[in-house]
Amino acid sequence: DSGVTQTPKHLITATGQRVTLRCSPRSGDLSVYWYQQSLDQGLQFLIQYYNGEERAKGNILERFSAQQFPDLHSELNLSSLELGDSALYFCASSISGSYVYEQYFGPGTRLTVT
């Protein structure tokens, strides 16, 4: 158990809908990262937050947004969902926002868009 929690574990929804994925980092970690993993691609970095502020952006679509709250939990919002958004979404956390070498992953949320 990495100490990172994610809810829900599974999500099935229809095209055009909006969903919210939730992540709680390990105790003491200030950085939260979101990744997407689909069958035909590896882990794709989406976005990083550090202590409530956006720190880095990766290949995140405009339909996706995220935030980190004062209690350090984070939410990833996916809107206008398309079939191609079906994937595993992982949250990871680390202590530092400047250097990453120990990043711990949650169990993931499996999103299926029908």
Partner 1 sequence: QKEVEQDPGPLSVPEGAIVSLNCTYSNSAFQYFMWYRQYSRKGPELLMYTYSSGNKEDGRFTAQVDKSSKYISLFIRDSQPSDSATYLCAMSFGSRLTFGEGTQLTVNP
* Residues within the interface to partner 1 (CB under 8 A): 2, 4, 31, 33, 37, 42-43, 45, 48, 50, 55-56, 88, 90, 96-108, 110
Q: Which CB atom, from 79 or from 107, has the smaller least distance to partner 1?
A: 107
Give the DSSP letter string of 15-75.
TT--EEEEEEPPTT--EEEEEEE-TTS-EEEEEEEETTEEEEE-S--TTEEEEE-TTS-EE
Select 38 or 79, whichever has its Cβ closest to partner 1.
38
Nearer to partner 1, 18 or 67 (CB): 67
